[in-house]
């Protein structure tokens, strides 16, 4: 028999997950009760039908592995879910004792007469190393139930075992490669979980997570079944939950460590990150939003004619490293020359970087030193008030032009910015004060580039006319410097001409 004849996917997202044959690491994330778990056995069934008939007996055959962290979880949670889809019955023998490995063999005949067989092994990693555990697997597909609980270190070894079954001597010469999958289902995890960082923040070409709608959405999946339990299934469930539980387990939103909360709750990858990156327009005016100090960082932004903002590159100082204004300026100049050749660049820098400092070479300001070595025109933001800076970013997150969000980021070259939006840039909880938080974002690796991004957004909000005026002022600065005879007086002239907002 073919179960797919009678199976109805819980919704279009779950169906896309089942039918996906392109991605090898593929997951489905959904609320409680969304049908995501039952979709995984069905996906194994579907992949079996797509295997090449074996030379020895003409059967389309797959070998799948259902994996959990412990045998207790495997038998108490996963195997019952499996048997809800593929019961233990005559003709489908399920063999194994509780607390150990098990095997289930499912055979059926397709409507077109094709014979299919799915051999499924149930295993727990237990105390073994991931490499040792994976060595014995010869898999067509692998299912990680509650995949976010599987350590990321196991993913590479498990991916390496895909395509080991059927074995080469059973595959006809010239046969097309049949699809394989390391599949996983999970509820929305913490943002620090590998499923988010690897598959959602910056996914590789063969990685994909399908995200089901919120349980409160009109498009919520599996509602035909859930309404039979209770018409107000999710609304009733929410009555007994805290806000953070509702966000993760009903609204299907990855959560944050309860020691902090996100700065930008309006960020969504599908709205604010382009599917395919693009270079800036040739000759376009470019903004560089920068944060100064010994760990400088910044982001390059293209302000579009329709007012939208296109971040396309970042420069950061890696954790544990230091940099100075002159060398950072040179790095920025090289990046601009490579990615936006011929484009004028206006740098919006932290206002505190404009003060004369004894710690900066020559005793001049960090901003001036940066300008000399980058060649960028400078714009001094009117304030460094965090609320005003954050509001500038939120404007681009929440407003639209031509049907799209004003913020449209490249998917590559902005790893720290994007990870900061997702998890790293947050407001910490006050110790000993339940439900109370600090009044500004936490300082750290992500805050440097996000501070710079905020200054860049402030300049973008000021508009093209201000940028044009800054560029004209830069020309005046160059003329002033050319008229000076000593390096000290030249620096004074630069400082004088740069003293504008």
- The residue behind tokens 């390059």 is 300
Residue 225: strand, helix, or coil: helix
pLDDT of residue 248: 92
pLDDT of residue 455: 98
> Per-residue pLDDT for 314 more than 50?
yes
Residue 67: strand, helix, or coil: strand
Across residues 157-182, what is the average pLDDT? 95
Range of the domain at 160: 13-214
Residue 280 falls inside a structural domain: no
> Per-residue pLDDT for 117 more than 60?
yes
pLDDT of residue 17: 98
Q: In terms of domains, do 205 and 295 share one?
A: no
> Per-residue pLDDT for 334 more than 80?
yes
Residue 279 falls inside a structural domain: no
Lowest mean pLDDT among 1-5, 196-200, 208-212: 1-5
Give, in order, the Cα–Cα distances in Å from 126 to each of 26, 130, 152, 235.
23, 9, 15, 37
> Per-residue pLDDT for 357 more than 90?
no
Per-chain mean pLDDT for the chain? 89
Q: What is the pLDDT of residues 386-438, one digit of tens each?
A: 999 999 999 999 999 999 999 999 988 998 998 888 777 887 654 443 445 44
Q: What is the pLDDT of residues 468-492, one digit of tens each?
A: 898 887 767 666 655 664 455 445 5
Which CATH number does the domain housing residue 380 bear? 3.30.420
Lowest mean pLDDT among 70-84, 326-340, 414-428: 414-428
110 sits in which H/E element: none
Residue 1 falls inside a structural domain: no
Looking at 186, 214, 242, the residue that finishes a domain is 214
Secondary structure of 151-175 in HEC code, one letter for each residue: CHHHHHHHHCCECCCCCHHHCCCCC
First to last CA, the chain: 74
Closest CA to 68 of 160, 188, 149, 158: 149
Q: Which residue did the predictor score with more confidence, 472 or 450?
A: 450
Question: How many domains would you assign to the chain?
Answer: 2
Q: In terms of domains, do 353 and 490 share one?
A: yes
Q: In terms of domains, do 195 and 102 share one?
A: yes
What is the C-alpha separation between 266 and 156, in angstroms, rounded? Answer: 33
Looking at 167, 186, 214, the residue that finishes a domain is 214
Residue 4 falls inside a structural domain: no
What is the C-alpha separation between 58 and 106, in angstroms, rounded? Answer: 16
pLDDT of residue 431: 41
Closest CA to 455 of 271, 300, 324, 269: 300
Residue 234 falls inside a structural domain: no
- Asked if 213 and 173 count as a contact pair (C-beta separation under 8 A), the reply is no
What is the C-alpha separation between 147 and 150, in angstroms, rounded? Answer: 5
pLDDT of residue 433: 38
Looking at 214, 232, 267, the residue that finishes a domain is 214
Residue 171 falls inside a structural domain: yes
Q: Which residue did the predictor score with more confidence, 260 or 351?
A: 351
Q: In terms of domains, do 312 and 436 share one?
A: yes
């Amino acid at each position: 028999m073919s179960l797919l004849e009678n199976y109805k996917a819980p919704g279009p997202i779950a169906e896309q997950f089942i039918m996906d044959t392109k991605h090898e690491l593929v997951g489905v994330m959904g609320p409680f009760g969304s049908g995501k778990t039952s979709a995984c056995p069905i996906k194994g069934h579907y992949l079996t039908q797509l295997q090449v008939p074996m030379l020895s007996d003409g059967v389309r055959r797959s070998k799948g592995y259902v994996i959990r962290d412990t045998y207790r979880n495997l038998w108490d949670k996963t195997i019952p879910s499996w048997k809800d889809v593929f019961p233990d019955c005559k003709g489908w023998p399920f063999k194994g004792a509780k607390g150990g490995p098990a095997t289930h063999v499912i055979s059926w005949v397709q409507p077109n007469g094709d014979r299919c067989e799915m051999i499924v092994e149930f295993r727990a990693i237990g105390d073994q190393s991931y490499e040792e555990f994976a060595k014995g697997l010869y898999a067509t597909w692998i299912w990680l139930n509650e995949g976010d609980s599987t350590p990321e270190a196991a993913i590479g070894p498990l991916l390496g075992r895909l395509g080991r079954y059927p074995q080469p001597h059973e595959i006809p010469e010239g046969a097309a490669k049949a699809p394989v999958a390391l599949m996983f289902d999970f509820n929305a995890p913490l943002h620090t979980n590998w499923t988010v960082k690897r598959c959602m923040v910056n996914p590789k070409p063969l990685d994909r997570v399908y995200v089901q709608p919120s349980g409160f959405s009109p498009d919520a999946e599996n509602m035909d079944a859930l309404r039979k339990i209770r018409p107000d299934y999710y609304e009733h469930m929410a009555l007994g939950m805290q806000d953070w539980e509702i966000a993760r387990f009903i609204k299907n939103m990855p959560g944050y460590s309860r020691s902090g909360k996100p700065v930008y709750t309006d960020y969504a990858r599908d709205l604010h990150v382009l599917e395919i990156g693009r270079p800036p327009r040739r000759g376009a005016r470019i903004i560089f939003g920068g944060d100064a100090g010994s760990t400088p960082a910044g982001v390059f932004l293209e302000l579009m004619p329709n007012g939208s903002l296109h971040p396309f590159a970042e420069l950061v100082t890696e954790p544990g490293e230091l940099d100075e204004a002159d060398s950072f300026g040179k790095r920025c100049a090289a990046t601009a020359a490579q990615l936006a050749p011929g484009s004028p660049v206006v740098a919006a820098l932290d206002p505190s970087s404009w003060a004369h400092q004894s710690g900066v070479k020559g005793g001049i300001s960090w901003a001036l030193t940066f300008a000399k070595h980058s060649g960028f025109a400078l714009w001094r933001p009117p304030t460094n008030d965090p609320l005003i800076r954050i509001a500038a970013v939120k404007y681009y997150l929440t407003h639209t032009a031509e049907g799209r969000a004003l913020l449209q980021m490249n998917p590559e070259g902005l790893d720290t910015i994007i990870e900061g939006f997702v998890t790293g840039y947050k407001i910490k909880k006050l110790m000993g004060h339940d439900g109370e938080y600090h009044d500004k974002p936490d300082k750290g690796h992500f805050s440097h580039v996000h501070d710079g991004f905020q200054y860049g957004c402030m300049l973008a909000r000021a508009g093209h006319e201000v940028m044009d005026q800054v560029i004209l002022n830069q020309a005046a600065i160059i003329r002033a410097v050319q008229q000076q005879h000593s390096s000290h007086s030249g620096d004074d002239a630069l400082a004088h001409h740069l003293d504008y907002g």
